A and B are shown apart, each in its own frame.
Chain A
Amino acid sequence: MSTSSPTSYTNSLTLFILRRIGVTIATLLLVSLIVFVITGLLPGDAAQEAMGQAATPEAVAALRASLGLDQPAPVRYVRWLTGLFSGDLGLSLTMNAPVSEAIGSRLWKSLTLSSLAAAFAIPLALGIGTVAAACRDRAADRALSFVTLIMVAIPEFLVATIAVVIFSVQLGWLPSMVLLPDKPSALEFLRAYAMPVMTLSFVVIAQMARMTRAAMIEQLSKPYVEMARLKGIGTQRIMLWHVLPNAAGPIAVAVAFSMSTLLGSTIIVETIFNYPGLASLMVNAVTGRDTPLLQACSMIFAGAYLLLLLGADIIAILSNPRLRAN
């Protein structure tokens, strides 16, 4: 066996993380290049989209020149790249403001929504998955399986619209959109975010619960569980202290994938609940062919996804002593 002293273990873990971060940065740059090229292939450019039906050739040409779109594509990309390395994300072509300003508050709002949804969904999903695994093939498990299958199958915009019709229009319990005063009380905050968070969680809870259940069932067939049972340890203790730590790796990966699904679903919630987050900013950037803004948004989403995966891999390593040794 290789040396497994604490310092060398920390060193190799740090090295692993640093390598992964390097790969992440390279991937983000590749993402920005791909987004740039694809946006360039779309018909129309920011100047044409800005003028819409009122576009006359001279007006479009003048707008194009003022936005710097008359320069060849490689020049524009290199210019953007040099700006990026000096910390400047560039100027948004549609908003007449720096990209960093355009993204600023909306990034914060997206993070708030995603964190709330994650905080709500993950414990619930783990709980459901654990209970389902413990009551494997009995009534509780079958019921939960059925319910989670339906939850996965229903499209989110349907869930959102039905929820709004029932809770906002008919019952009037919750607001139909996220409207918050400047200094909201805790209750106002919860009421405003209740439906968006539940809509976002709907599908990911089902996904995570099913994968948690599968991971734990796999562990339950291992000999050490049988040994623990023979020793007389209760089911609850077995599940929480013996099985769960061992299933942590696969569960963490499942959570990471579900969280990235959640990031993608935010666009639906932002549309229905009029929530000004990063996803709708990005969709608007596509429609307006706002390349610098689009590149920045794509990199943020890609970065978030890669970071989630890195987190999952770290948890997998930490929870598995055999991986720790390398």
Chain B
Amino acid sequence: MIQDNGFTRRNLLSALAVAPALASVPALAETPRRGGRIRVAGISSSNSDTLDPARGNLSTDFVRHFMFYSGLMQYDSRLLARPALAEAMDSTDYQTWRIRLRRGVTFHDGGPLTSADVVYSLLRHKNPATASSVISIAEQFAEVRATGRYEVIIRLAAPNVDLPVILCDSHFLIIRNGTRSFRTANGTGPYICKEFSPGVRSISVRNPNYWKPGRPYLDEIEFFGISDEQARVNALLAGDVQLIGSVGHLSIPRVRASARHAIHATKSGNFTDLVMQQSSPISGNPDFVLAMKYLFDRKLINRALLSNLGSIANDHPIPAFNPYAANDLPQRQFDLDRARYHLKRSGFEGLRIPVYASPAADGSVDMASVLQEYAHRINLKLAVNRVPSDGYWSTHWKKHPLTFSNINPRPTADIIFTLFMKSDSSQNESGWKNKRFDQMLLEARGSQSEERRRLLYGDMQEMVRNHCGLVIPVFLNLTDGFDRRLRGLGSIPTGGLMGYSFAEYVWWAG
């Protein structure tokens, strides 16, 4: 049973913000002030900017969705699910969930929030015509029905403890029953959409009837994307925008040098990895895979490419702050001798093989160059093919024996494993198929015992670390730059700009 004191079975975690400036929970000495108009620049903007939560693809979309819509549950800084539009959500077997909706919530057009809106919002993800980005997760919903004006039952195909956390995702935000057109956004969120031009900007104004009393604080937010990182930082330092996402590590000293600005850094589960296709005889050879795993100089990558702002990873996708992180697994070190030994054993010494990298996978081009240098020392000729970001995911990702990829943070271990390592997932990067892993995944998803879950996830991390065809050297961090007069910016490790939901937390002290 989850109520307002959070999901009590999980361990408490320490605050995730790296920068000493701001705590993750805004319980500060300063009281938030109402008013103020700010401009925020995200990292990208395209013609396909959308106000449909199901179709959100870029961070720009997620920010807008959290401004205009609310969800059944909401992340807190420790990635636990807190009640939002759902006042309570409980289940005895983790397969059938009963949701009790908050009463008195209204959409921006004045209509009340009822169970019909929730049923519509959740079921539309299963319809292929919606083209939802989370259609594979929605397959778990066997049945969603309203059992009252303010009550919904969700029956899953199999037990899943993490359903409340899944429902915090921006794709599952609640829209009005029957909405088909997304020229504007009609939601229950903290801001009302005053203007929206895809690829240009959006203007949000405070929702006076927001269901959280006293929030939000700002009067208006103008939000757009500046894709050129230098231009984005310049805009912040010139005072034209008050908050930006994704400050490159080379620009961090510039922002810190400005008296009026500061950096907010958050550790995250975002990583760039080397993907070795298991179907190819070369990259599928277990010794070759191990050789590559030992070939990565993780400390160098963290120091030279990330200015030591990342966290060393251990070839599995679970970051250290996740409650199920197996931090006792021995850390794989850079070891040229072992790499040389495994390469010899694989029989591919002296081989010439291309590896594909692209700016679409953050930092992959530099990592590939470093890798090429070390590969040369063990008599492996890696040819780095730097390809443009345009069309990388449809043209090159997974299509060659060696490619680089970048995976955005996901809130739970189950989601990461399901999307990227489960045998039948279309996003399974390396084509690694392990029946035992799949069984463990399903068992952990529905397990009633916390200890059992911990054991299973620990073993799964070990399996991925040792056998999966991925090399995950470091976890990247998220850095935002902001004007010091903007207060209340915290961390939610699913993404930058406070997990894209900064809009309802920040206030202007200027």
Chain A residues within an 8 Å CB radius of B128:
58-59, 61-62
Q: Assuming the A-B contacts A276-B200, A281-B199, A284-B199, are A176 and B234 also in contact, with contact meaning beta carbons closer than 8 angstroms in the complex?
A: yes
B238 touches A276 (CB 8 A): no
Q: Map CB proximity to B onto A245-289 as digits: 1 under 8 Å, 0 otherwise.
A: 000000000000000000000000001111010001100111110
A274 touches B224 (CB 8 A): yes
Q: Which of B129-137, B307-315, B318-326 makes up part of the contact surface? A: B129-137
B199 touches A51 (CB 8 A): no
Q: Which of B48, B201, B391, B426 contacts A43 (CB 8 A)?
A: B391
Q: Assuming the A-B contacts A51-B131, A59-B132, A179-B39, are A288 and B240 also in contact, with contact meaning beta carbons closer than 8 angstroms in the complex?
A: no
Q: Assuming the A-B contacts A164-B231, A164-B234, A177-B240, are A55 and B199 also in contact, with contact meaning beta carbons closer than 8 angstroms in the complex?
A: no
Shortest distance between the CB of A306 and any CB in chain B (Å): 26
17 A-B pairs within 8 Å (CB atoms) are namely A43-B395, A44-B394, A50-B55, A54-B133, A59-B131, A62-B128, A62-B129, A66-B131, A95-B47, A161-B230, A164-B238, A168-B234, A168-B237, A175-B238, A175-B240, A176-B234, A290-B47
Closest Cβ neighbor of A276 among chain B residues: B200
B131 touches A168 (CB 8 A): no
A272 touches B231 (CB 8 A): yes
Shortest distance between the CB of A183 and any CB in chain B (Å): 15
Closest Cβ neighbor of B425 among chain A residues: A56
Q: Which of B235-253 contact A (CB under 8 A)?
A: 235, 237-240
B47 touches A293 (CB 8 A): yes
Shortest distance between the CB of B39 and any CB in chain A (Å): 7
A59 touches B135 (CB 8 A): yes
Bound: A55/B128 CA distance, A? 12
Shortest distance between the CB of B47 and any CB in chain A (Å): 4
Q: Which of A52, A161, A164, A285 contacts B57 (CB 8 A)?
A: A52
Q: Which of B41, B228, B239, B427 contacts A53 (CB 8 A)?
A: B427
Bound: A164/B397 CA distance, A? 36
Chain A residues within an 8 Å CB radius of B50:
96
Bound: A165/B231 CA distance, A? 9
Bound: A288/B238 CA distance, A? 32
Shortest distance between the CB of B389 and any CB in chain A (Å): 8
B47 touches A168 (CB 8 A): no
Chain B residues within an 8 Å CB radius of A102:
47
B327: CB under 8 A from chain A? no
Chain A residues within an 8 Å CB radius of B391:
42-44, 49, 287
Chain A count of residues within 8 A CB distance of the other chain: 51
Bound: A42/B235 CA distance, A? 34
A214: CB under 8 A from chain B? no
B231 touches A52 (CB 8 A): no
B57 touches A165 (CB 8 A): no
Q: Which of A85-126 contact B (CB under 8 A)?
A: 92, 94-97, 102, 105-106
B47 touches A172 (CB 8 A): no
A169 touches B234 (CB 8 A): yes
Q: Map CB proximity to A onto B177-190 as digits: 1 under 8 Å, 0 otherwise.
A: 00000110000000
Chain A residues within an 8 Å CB radius of B133:
51, 54
Q: Map CB proximity to B onto A153-187 as digits: 1 under 8 Å, 0 otherwise.
A: 00000000100110011001001110100000000
Closest Cβ neighbor of A275 among chain B residues: B200
A307: CB under 8 A from chain B? no
A271 touches B228 (CB 8 A): yes
Bound: A105/B197 CA distance, A? 10
Leading 5 A-B pairs by shortest Cβ distance: A62-B128, A168-B238, A44-B394, A176-B238, A54-B133
Bound: A62/B198 CA distance, A? 23
B240 touches A168 (CB 8 A): yes
Shortest distance between the CB of B128 and any CB in chain A (Å): 4
Shortest distance between the CB of A271 and any CB in chain B (Å): 5
B390: CB under 8 A from chain A? yes
Shortest distance between the CB of B387 and any CB in chain A (Å): 11
Chain A residues within an 8 Å CB radius of B199:
95, 276, 280-281, 284
Given A49-B391, A168-B240, 16 other A-B contacts at CB below 8 A?
Answer: A42-B391, A43-B391, A44-B394, A54-B427, A56-B136, A58-B135, A66-B129, A94-B47, A95-B47, A96-B182, A172-B238, A176-B231, A274-B226, A276-B199, A288-B46, A290-B47
Q: Map CB proximity to A onto B381-399 as digits: 1 under 8 Å, 0 otherwise.
A: 0000000001101110100
Chain A residues within an 8 Å CB radius of B240:
168, 175-177, 179
Q: Which of B218-238 contact A (CB under 8 A)?
A: 224, 226-228, 230-231, 234-235, 237-238
Bound: A161/B234 CA distance, A? 9
Among B48, B227, B239, B427: residue with most chain A CB under 10 A: B48
B198 touches A95 (CB 8 A): yes
Chain B residues within an 8 Å CB radius of A95:
47-48, 198-199
Bound: A19/B390 CA distance, A? 41
Closest Cβ neighbor of B395 among chain A residues: A43
A274 touches B231 (CB 8 A): yes
Bound: A59/B201 CA distance, A? 28
B394 touches A176 (CB 8 A): no
Chain B count of residues within 8 A CB distance of the other chain: 43
A314: CB under 8 A from chain B? no
Bound: A96/B129 CA distance, A? 14
Bound: A293/B198 CA distance, A? 14
A63: CB under 8 A from chain B? yes
Q: Which of B57, B201, B395, B427 contacts A44 (CB 8 A)?
A: B395
Q: Assuming the A-B contacts A51-B57, A95-B199, A271-B228, are A281 and B47 also in contact, with contact meaning beta carbons closer than 8 angstroms in the complex?
A: yes
Q: Assuming the A-B contacts A51-B57, A59-B131, are A176 and B235 also in contact, with contact meaning beta carbons closer than 8 angstroms in the complex?
A: yes
Shortest distance between the CB of A120 and any CB in chain B (Å): 22
Closest Cβ neighbor of A287 among chain B residues: B390
A6: CB under 8 A from chain B? no
Bound: A287/B359 CA distance, A? 14
Closest Cβ neighbor of A66 among chain B residues: B129
Q: Which of B111-149 contact A (CB under 8 A)?
A: 128-129, 131-136
Q: Map CB proximity to A onto B26-51 as digits: 1 under 8 Å, 0 otherwise.
A: 00000000000001010000111010
Chain B residues within an 8 Å CB radius of A288:
46-48
A74: CB under 8 A from chain B? no
Shortest distance between the CB of B462 and any CB in chain A (Å): 26
A57: CB under 8 A from chain B? yes
Shortest distance between the CB of B393 and any CB in chain A (Å): 5
Chain B residues within an 8 Å CB radius of A92:
47
Chain B residues within an 8 Å CB radius of A177:
226, 231, 235, 240
Bound: A290/B135 CA distance, A? 24
A148: CB under 8 A from chain B? no
A48: CB under 8 A from chain B? yes
Chain B residues within an 8 Å CB radius of A42:
391
Bound: A303/B323 CA distance, A? 60
A63 touches B237 (CB 8 A): no
Chain B residues within an 8 Å CB radius of A97:
183, 198
Chain A residues within an 8 Å CB radius of B397:
53
Q: Which of B129, B136, B394 contacts A48 (CB 8 A)?
A: B394
Bound: A97/B183 CA distance, A? 9
Chain A residues within an 8 Å CB radius of B182:
96
Bound: A286/B391 CA distance, A? 10
Chain B residues within an 8 Å CB radius of A43:
391, 394-395
Bound: A61/B128 CA distance, A? 9
Bound: A56/B128 CA distance, A? 10
Chain B residues within an 8 Å CB radius of A169:
234, 237-238
Shortest distance between the CB of B260 and any CB in chain A (Å): 11
